[in-house]
Amino acid sequence: MKKQRKTDTFPEPPPMPQAIALDDAERIVAPTETPAPRRESANVPPDIHLVTTSAKAPPTRSSVWGPRLLRTLERASLFIAILIAWFVAAEKLPLGDNPLIPSPVLTFRALVESLPELWRGTISSFFILIPGFGAASVAGIVWGLIVGTSPRLQRIFFPFSRVAAPIPPTVYIPYAIAILPTFRLSAIFVVFIGAFWPVFHNTAAGAVALEQRYRDNASILGLTGAEYLWRVVFPASLPHIFSGMGVGLAFSFVMLTVAEMFGANHGLGRFVQFYADYAEYPKMVAGILYTGLITWLSMTLLDLARHRALFWLR
């Protein structure tokens, strides 16, 4: 029979002193008692309890309307101060006997009486303002994008614009009346000149300021020509474009009023000039205030359009 081979067994080595020390340390550090469970409210689940304890008190009506009322008063403070000074100058000071300074009460009455005539003048003025400002905006945006993206056109056109833009558009009024067939076309041309240069300069500045990374991405995607202008340059230049349109709209109202004073039969400028010639100063001041109100409303509408279009800047 074969003898079974005896296998040698070796005893396990004793644990190292470090291990023993670590085990002892764990037994010493480990807590001997389990932590007490967190006590919850009787009728509130744990997750709801956390939410209700961390919720803030809802704002009161006074905390919401207080800052709004303060901001409104701050915006209206200058108008209120001017109205008080006007009332004092017309009623209490010796200037009150001067017919050139009608009182606020007389001016308000004249404004109410003249509303139908002022409304007809507003329609007539906007038939000049909208074509002139609209054409200037389209031409200024398109040409500004083209020039702003072409260094060669910048070298050609920018020197000319620096000479032509500072010329006051009012100097073109007599010449425009002489060469154009109707006064309406002459007024539209003057409004166009007044609004074109601000829109063009701001649009070109926005196109020039386009970041290089947008240009690189457009070249990688193969965007060129009109597609590049429409998809890349135009959206990036919108903040500059709206700034130029705001300045151009203000200039348009100035040019419109001046042009209507030269020889129009209707319009806001004609209303003011007509009653100034006949010394109807309450109606003249009412026309000035009404023109300012229409200008403010137009600028506010443009600001609202800017706020909607530039949603990424909110």
Block means of pLDDT (10 residues each) for the chain, 314 residues, are: 48 49 45 50 46 52 68 82 85 67 88 94 94 96 94 93 90 88 91 95 93 86 86 92 95 92 86 91 93 95 93 78
Reported as half-sphere exposure (CB side, CA atoms, 13 A), residue 120 has a value of 7
Indicate the pTM of the whole model: 0.73
pLDDT recorded at residue 114: 93
Tokens of 75: 């915006």
DSSP assignment letter at 265: S
Give dist(CA 101, CA 19) in Å, integer: 102
Element (DSSP H or E) covering residue 261: helix 234-263
User: What DSSP designation does 34 have?
Assistant: P
Q: Identify the pLDDT of residue 64.
A: 57
The structural domains of the chain, with segments of one domain joined by +, span 123-307
Is the CATH number 1.10.287.3610 carried by domain 123-307? no
Q: Tokens 């809802």 appear where? A: 58
What's the pLDDT score for residue 44?
45
Query: Which of 306, 225, 282 has the alpha carbon at shortest distance from 109?
Result: 282
